Structure 1
Amino acid sequence: MAQFFSVHPQNPQMRLLKQAVQLIRAGGLVAIPTDSSYALVAPLDDKHAAEALRRLRGVDERHHLTVLCRDLAEIGQFAHVDNQQYRLLKAATPGPWTFILEATREVPRRLSHPSRKTIGIRVPDHPIALCLLEEMGAPLLSSTLIPANEDEPLNDAEQIRERYEHELAAVVDGGACPFEPTTVVDLTGAEPEVVRRGRGDPATLGIAG
């Protein structure tokens, strides 16, 4: 049975987030609110948690999972970033964006794309997500909470708990999210390529979307 934590969206109660982090560290999947939509998070170094996340989402190893980072500085540990990419990331983070970048050796091989060796990278702009990352003291593996064989993310914490009460360790209820997934931009080619149009407007970054 998934635990349920009702957390203030602007001033999160740290005692509740500490409990959620304990469940994550134990290998549990937790649903959390972000600046785009609800997301699933898991420990980055837990193979079984990553497999459970993929099963719940209904995706295989070719689907880019995301490393959820605390800030721009942390991105450099998990992705190779050149000067041009860095300027774009600096303009976009924190915010509702996921960037596809070449993974470093810090990313477990099983998490990166099997042929391209790439990974999604994101810095959320949401107090609950950022406080969880700070309490965790490390990045989290993440994916938008879009149910398998569906197109829209879930946006109601009670609905998430009812639907996945046996698959999740916890649901962090921070109220409704904007109900749009992140905009996904692939930065590994000669020019940035919008892979998925979401809440982030590519025009604000000078990207043709």
Structure 2
Amino acid sequence: MWRAGLAPMSPVVRDGGLRPGFHLEPGMKIGLFGGSFNPAHEGHRHVADTARIKMGLDRILWLVSPQNPLKAKTETAPLSQRISEITPFIGPNDIVSDFETRIGATYTLDTLRALKARFPGVHFVWIMGGDSLVSFHKWRGWLQIMAMVPVAIVSRPGAMMNARFSHAAKRFMHYRIKERQARILPAMTAPAWSFFKGPLHGHSSTAIRAQRRQSAPGI
């Protein structure tokens, strides 16, 4: 069993949290970074690292979704491939997991309920890029998600203005805390959220997939 301070380098966990490798201590600040990661890229690393530094997170749990309900199945690579391609981008104490597949969760709301039930006392904070905030109100149970865990938004190219005036941002405008208070965000009672500005990283999964299609044999 490994614990905080004794974590192996970048473990890839496929046990859905049932093995000791998924061990989380009460009081730890854990960032939850979910998505299809189709594929993972430097932009994802930038979002994760920004959140980690701003909030002083103990580690980030990269939750690789079996299939994003808002995206086409035909464009989604196999889960095992997407998990393996994340490894170069994660921090030394981070965990990559197919937790959602293991518990049969399709929606973030179900994932959060399961994690909070299994790891009481852990301070979870949901992490996402500013581009995801724009469409956040389309997620199933988005109001419940905001009421369940604090949320950290990291700026992404071309999305800052749209994110600022998004439906979710306006709905929860009175629960936003200043960026300089980022370190207390994970332990705050939800709803609570913050927007982290900073250097932008332009990589995108859409562009990478398009490039791969163009370079594929026979195309």
Q: Same fold (TM over 0.5)?
A: no
> Which category of TM-score, normalised to the shorter sequence, fits these structures?
under 0.3
TM-score by length of 2: 0.26
Q: Which has the higher contact order (CA 8 A, sep 6+)?
A: 1
- Structure having the higher helix fraction is 2
Structure richer in strand, relative to its length: 1
